[in-house]
Amino acid sequence: MSRPLTAPLAPFVDALPVPRRLVAAEHEGRLTVRMRPGTHRFHRDLPESTIWGYDGTVPGPTIEAERGQPVTVEWRNELDGPLPVVVTVAPHAADADGVSVQCVPGLSGGTADPNAPALAGHTVVHLHGGLTPAVYDGWAENLFAPGQAAVFRYPMDQRAALLWYHDHVMGVTKLDVYAGLAALWVVRDDRERDLGLPEGPPFEVPLLIQDRNFDLDEQGRLIGRLVHKTDPEVMEAFPPFTVVNGKVWPVLDVQPATYRLRAINGSNARTYRLVLLRDGAPDLERITQIGTDHGLVRTPAPVPADGLLLAPAERADLLVDFSDLAPGSELTVLNTAAAPFDGSRFPAADAESAADVEGLLPYPELLRFRVAGEAARRRSIPRELATDYEPPAARALAGARRRAIALVERELDDEPNMLTMRELAVAADGDEDGPLVTVTDGDETTRYRVVAAHFEDRTTFFPVLDEYEVWQLINLTDDTHPIHLHLDPFQILARHPISHEIPEGGVENRDLVATITLERDPNDALSHGIDDNERGLKDTIRVNPKEIVEIAVRFTTYSGRYMYHCHILEHEDRDMMRPFVTMPATLMPFMA
């Protein structure tokens, strides 16, 4: 814990904006969204920033769709360069005062990457969480140049949920999203309507949480220019200013009533642990989580005692009861998660002292609620929410194909580390020579070989449609990675603590040598538990250090080439992404 910094911007002075709603049914399901440069003011006291946005705004319009009513979007690329973000790697991790450079504005002595302004604005749109045919899923290499347009058809044959759409260009997703190319997409259905949940303003409020940094002029004053800054020790950007729906540290006036907050972490890399404070003390009991990535959970869940964790791309559907509060009451949402996030605990009761410059969290502030008005409108929370899914039965998983993926960090000289996913295949009997990954569970040891390491390596995952698979995500790094699968949602089965050893030089370009044991490492302080609110239909799951996360996934409906990846954008851009191809069962005998 280091001394706090003085914020160069006043918190809680801008009203929380609510993005414009674009209701598909009002346009007969046919929408046109233009990707355009625009200007945006991130804070009252900041000059305008140039951004790239859907319809030229930050965030872009929230698209609202009905289950079973297809939506066709013409995505028109009307960008023109240069990219409105200065990209730099500061020469040192800390400045002359010993302050982590990522916590302060400006370039911190870094030079602007000359390749960034040359980016002319190629784009591809991915609807995160969409059950989308492969041709419309936004493959990271199928790009549209300025002046070109793509017409994507989204069947919307999926349950109500908060999705989001964002840019997904190979290698520069981190820059395009940072420039502003991200927005929300809500799917609604009758089940939710039957429950009488708030829908639309004023009681349903989306919260797109991101972090941003800005440049300084020669006098050291903040200007609006967006800065993506990393440093020699941290290859992810953890900017100091938290932005909700496009404003730094906004305030929302609420009536004494029940609100439905649809929260999503749209940051490049930062994980948030949200704590609601009232008069300096945690007030988490007034929050009930009713939904997760792919919509309603089966029963309402309390927020974990430490606060609500949201890694990049994770969503939470929350009911917050303000009905007992007198006008003038103020509640503040703080973030207590240091960065890079490694799963460490932080008690909610200490939230007011969460500022941590070494932990790249100079300003824990996120959002304030201010109660105004008299009429109390409290809603009761249904005890049963979703009824359309069950945890997968042991019987259904008994014969399931199992896949293993190791998450590894490869250290490189003179350039940032590579975060990669190593797809593992069980080694044949007698196959002893060369690098092996072993996983020991009690008396049983399984030996694996790496069969794929980079995005462009050959595809090794061919899931058969409608068949359950169990994927093991084995984290051999020191940080938490939010792993996202495109297409269908999945359910978490287990978090197993592990100990592991990687010998010197064990992580090579393709090879990996590692000894993994399913046992708790004596130095491991993490719980490796599954939070109640993780037991829903997920598309992004946190994989903490020293653990294996097991998920059950069953792809349905669409055959084709999709991707899975870490949703830390700096990681997916730096090779922590792999393809998979879903296939109908009847085709498998004909696959060479």
Interface with Cu ion by CB under 5 A: which residues?
481, 566, 568, 571, 576
CB of 127 to Cu ion, least distance (A): 21
Q: Which is nearer to Cu ion, 366 or 576 (CB)?
A: 576
CB of 549 to Cu ion, least distance (A): 13
CB of 460 to Cu ion, least distance (A): 20
Cα dihedral sign for 106, 111, 117, 119?
negative
Nearest residue to Cu ion, by Cβ distance, number only: 566
Q: Other C-beta atoms within 10 Å of 524: how many?
A: 17
CB of 479 to Cu ion, least distance (A): 7
CB of 421 to Cu ion, least distance (A): 9
Distance CA 59, CA 101 (A): 27
CB of 566 to Cu ion, least distance (A): 3
Distance CA 250, CA 12 (A): 5
Measuring CA to CA, which residue among 480, 582, 579 is closest to residue 534? Answer: 480
Distance CA 559, CA 490 (A): 17
Q: Which is nearer to Cu ion, 260 or 481 (CB)?
A: 481
Q: Which is nearer to Cu ion, 228 or 247 (CB)?
A: 228
Whether residue 195 contacts residue 387, with contact meaning beta carbons closer than 8 Å, is answered with no
Q: Which is nearer to Cu ion, 184 or 264 (CB)?
A: 264
Measuring CA to CA, which residue among 223, 262, 270 is closest to residue 106? Answer: 223
Measuring CA to CA, which residue among 341, 345, 326, 471 is closest to residue 397? Answer: 471
Distance CA 419, CA 408 (A): 6
CB of 407 to Cu ion, least distance (A): 7
Task: Calculate the alpha carbon distances from 175 to 158, 204, 237, 539 in Å.
Answer: 30, 30, 10, 23
Q: Across 453-502, where does the E strand assignment appear?
A: 468-475, 481-485, 490-497, 499-501
Q: Which is nearer to Cu ion, 473 or 576 (CB)?
A: 576
Whether residue 265 contacts residue 311, with contact meaning beta carbons closer than 8 Å, is answered with yes
Q: Which is nearer to Cu ion, 234 or 334 (CB)?
A: 234
Q: Which is nearer to Cu ion, 108 or 268 (CB)?
A: 268
Q: Can you tell me whether residue 192 is helix, strand or coil?
A: helix
Distance, C-alpha 227 to centroid of its chain: 20
Whether residue 497 contacts residue 564, with contact meaning beta carbons closer than 8 Å, is answered with no
CB of 89 to Cu ion, least distance (A): 18
- Which residues, in sequence order, are CB contacts of 453 under 8 Å at separation 6+? 420, 421, 422, 423, 509, 510, 512
Tokens of 205: 């409020």
Q: Which is nearer to Cu ion, 287 or 569 (CB)?
A: 569
Q: Which is nearer to Cu ion, 183 or 568 (CB)?
A: 568
Task: Report phi then psi at 179, rounded to 5.
Answer: -70, -15
CB of 297 to Cu ion, least distance (A): 25
Token pair 């200065």: residue: 86
CB of 568 to Cu ion, least distance (A): 4
Distance CA 319, CA 311 (A): 20
Q: Which is nearer to Cu ion, 168 or 481 (CB)?
A: 481
